[in-house]
């Protein structure tokens, strides 16, 4: 499984490591931890079911204010 700056090859690794962003920036943190999606990473990434209760998210109740009887009306409410 390929992880980090070199997942797309040596040329991209050099380019990404020499990026002008601060080494502690979110850009570098995301790239440092990125995983190449391929057959080798499938088991690691998808072996366990992930569940997340969206009702616990801080924006859930706010978003419910826009909910309508159907999707079209909900989108119109958002707009």
**Domain with 30 in it:** 10-78
Domain total in the chain: 1
Q: 3-state DSSP: the chain helix, strand, coil percent, rounded to 5?
A: 50, 5, 45
Q: What is the pLDDT of residue 52?
A: 83
Query: Per the domain annotation, does 21 fall within a domain?
Result: yes
Query: Per the domain annotation, does 5 fall within a domain?
Result: no
Query: Per the domain annotation, does 62 fall within a domain?
Result: yes
pLDDT tens digits, one per residue of 19-73: 888 888 898 899 999 999 988 898 888 888 778 888 999 999 999 999 999 999 9
Q: What is the pTM of this model?
A: 0.50
Query: Per the domain annotation, does 34 fall within a domain?
Result: yes
Query: Per the domain annotation, does 35 fall within a domain?
Result: yes
């Amino acid at each position: 499984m390929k992880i980090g700056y070199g997942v797309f090859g040596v040329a991209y690794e050099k380019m990404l490591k020499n990026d002008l962003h601060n080494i502690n920036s979110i850009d570098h943190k995301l790239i440092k931890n990125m995983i190449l999606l391929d057959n080798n990473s499938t088991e690691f990434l998808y072996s366990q079911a992930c569940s997340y209760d969206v009702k616990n998210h801080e924006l859930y109740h706010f978003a419910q204010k826009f909910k309508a009887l159907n999707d079209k009306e909900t989108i119109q409410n958002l707009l």
